[in-house]
Structure 1
């Protein structure tokens, strides 16, 4: 007997602007992560975010279970069936690797990926070109989930969440800091770690964690391998963190230069979004830079 789930959004932010706007001229930005499904509505003509909604559920080891949860979200959220002008699908999957553009050959994309990550059942291997960095992001996501979302949205626009993060970090002047800047995007049970020094991208990877001490370890170890130090590097946090959270408190014990990331520049946000800390939903807002 199939299990019935009651799906409710963890966050839902909008105002009267949404009802007053013709959504068929708008862009829907969809972000799928481990146990999360989020989206934002963007009006391209005004570059204004009109709404966002985020769902959370217990991550499963079987992709079929994740697909069942996403199907339940579609059953519960009728806004997803709006005929948006454009839909961008983004996957926050752990299996990704950056390849220098001069060395990239499309027919070898699986080889690049599987040098760093194990091959998974039912995977679809995709690429994002990042000409500003001279890189190609090669990544994998579940083939069935990708197929379902492409069919429901009639969209072939797909990116990896890390590609959007790199575009947003480029706006941050701190990447020029010679002692290094570490960007941390914290999600459920995993986080994206990105390190720059003097404007150069040195590292980007996604890692699991159980506590803030795990994140501290990865930051310190990565910085020292790059001949940088956690005492001098700036650490900028994104994700649903607060100063009262256990993760933040543990980071603050060992990392003296903590700060928050800001929402991407060049966009407008409705009042309710500006009431939420700027680092929340940073990875979702960053998708607008890929449109």
Structure 2
């Protein structure tokens, strides 16, 4: 028997008039994670984001339960009924690894992933080519979730959240920092570290965390492993983190050069989005670069 959930967006930035607006030239960019369903409506001609919704729910033990929650989001969110020009489905979660493009063979993409991670039940292995950084992001998604979303949205456009992050960070000139820069995308119970030095990608790694000290420990360890100077490297934080959060307080204690990831530059945002800190949904906005 299915369970009925009380579905309301944790964040919403839209306008009721959108339901009466022709959005058929717009794109729907969807980001699905464990316990989250997020999307933005994007007008590529105007390079403008028109709506944002973020739904949060308790992560379910079985994928079918996650699907039931997302089905109820569909039932309550009328904006999702729009016939968009394109729909991009992006996945946050599962295992992922970066492979140099020159060494990538699509026929053995599973092998790249399984050199690091054990094969999972109901696993589908996919790959995103990031040509401007000569990398391929190989990642896994759950087959049932993938099949459900693909059918619901009738799309063949897919991506991984880290692919969007890698593309988005290149819009921030600090990725050229001579002393190095580390971008931290902090989400619930996990975070992604992306390290550049003078424009060269050194590392991207996703890790689980329970406390701010977990994040600090892995951050400092990464700085030392990559040979960067702890006193000189810049660290920029993105994700739904507040200045008074325990994670941010711990980072302030140990990181001399700490800043927020800027809102993706070169794009326009409705006023309600401007009221939400830009770094909150940097991963979602960056999907506009993946379509």
- Which of the five TM-score ranges fits, normalised by the shorter chain? over 0.9
Q: Could you tell me how far 1:2 is from its partner in structure 2?
A: 2.6
Partner of 1:284: 284
Give the count of matched residue pairs. Answer: 291
Partner of 1:267: 267
Partner of 1:178: 178
Any conservation in 2 of the 1:17–1:50 contact (CA below 8 Å)?
Answer: no
User: Secondary structure at the residue paired with 1:132?
Assistant: helix
Partner of 2:3: 3
Q: Could you tell me how far 1:235 is from its partner in structure 2?
A: 0.5
Cα distance in 2 between the residues matched to 1:118 and 1:76: 38
Cα distance in 2 between the residues matched to 1:230 and 1:74: 46
Q: Could you tell me how far 1:33 is from its partner in structure 2?
A: 1.2
Q: How does 1:1-291 map to 2 (within 5 A)?
A: 1-15=1-15, 18-19=18-19, 21-291=21-291
User: Secondary structure at the residue paired with 2:53?
Assistant: strand
User: Secondary structure at the residue paired with 1:24?
Assistant: coil
Cα distance in 1 between the residues matched to 2:75 and 2:273: 26
Cα distance in 2 between the residues matched to 1:100 and 1:220: 25
User: Secondary structure at the residue paired with 1:125?
Assistant: strand
Q: Scaled by the length of structure 1, what TM-score is found?
A: 0.97
User: Secondary structure at the residue paired with 1:147?
Assistant: helix
Any conservation in 1 of the 2:19–2:79 contact (CA below 8 Å)?
Answer: no
User: In structure 2, do the counterparts of structure 1 residues 5 and 17 end up closer, same or farther at CA, with 3 Å as the change threshold?
Assistant: closer
Q: Could you tell me how far 1:250 is from its partner in structure 2?
A: 1.1
For residues 127-182 of structure 1, the C-alpha deviation after alignment (integer angstroms, 9 at most, x for no partner) is 10111111111000011111111111110100011011001111111111122101
Any conservation in 2 of the 1:95–1:139 contact (CA below 8 Å)?
Answer: yes
For residues 171-206 of structure 1, the C-alpha deviation after alignment (integer angstroms, 9 at most, x for no partner) is 111111122101011111111110011111001011
Cα distance in 2 between the residues matched to 1:64 and 1:213: 34
Q: Scaled by the length of structure 2, what TM-score is found?
A: 0.97
Q: Could you tell me how far 1:16 is from its partner in structure 2?
A: 5.5
Cα distance in 1 between the residues matched to 2:203 and 2:242: 25
Q: Could you tell me how far 1:19 is from its partner in structure 2?
A: 4.3
Q: Could you tell me how far 1:20 is from its partner in structure 2?
A: 5.6
Cα distance in 1 between the residues matched to 2:230 and 2:15: 42
Cα distance in 1 between the residues matched to 2:64 and 2:56: 16
Q: Could you tell me how far 1:276 is from its partner in structure 2?
A: 1.2
Cα distance in 2 between the residues matched to 1:70 and 1:205: 28
Cα distance in 1 between the residues matched to 2:265 and 2:116: 33
User: Secondary structure at the residue paired with 1:67?
Assistant: helix
Any conservation in 2 of the 1:91–1:160 contact (CA below 8 Å)?
Answer: yes
Cα distance in 2 between the residues matched to 1:183 and 1:17: 36
Any conservation in 1 of the 2:190–2:209 contact (CA below 8 Å)?
Answer: yes
